[in-house]
Amino acid sequence: MLRYSLLRLGIFAGCFLALWGLVYIGVLPRGLGDSNLLWVLLLSVVVSAPLSFVLLRRQRDELSERIVERVDRAKGRLEANRSAEDAA
């Protein structure tokens, strides 16, 4: 989970730096008044979300498989405990 979160944060940071550079050189418009930082942050969120969805698909699938395995083991232990209590 930590690895996935760090990769996602890295994609966001990369988008932020790239977009900040584009705003700085004038390719993208600056925000209104003092909202330049907010503009770049929001634009970075919008750009990084689909990139993360596509680029981190394998990591997300691996993570979900591990979570499903843990849930199945917990269900098995819970059912075994219930059976042991019913038998006693």
Sequence-separated (6 or more) residues with CB below 8 Å from residue 51: 11, 15
pLDDT for the residue numbered 35? 67
Chain mean pLDDT for the chain: 88
Count of Cβ atoms closer than 10 Å to residue 13 Cβ: 12
Q: What pLDDT, in 10s, does the model give residues 22-63? A: 888 888 887 766 668 888 999 999 999 999 999 999 999 999
What pTM value is reported for the model? Answer: 0.72
Q: Is the pLDDT of residue 81 over 90?
A: no
- Side-chain-facing half-sphere of 49: CA atoms under 13 Å: 5
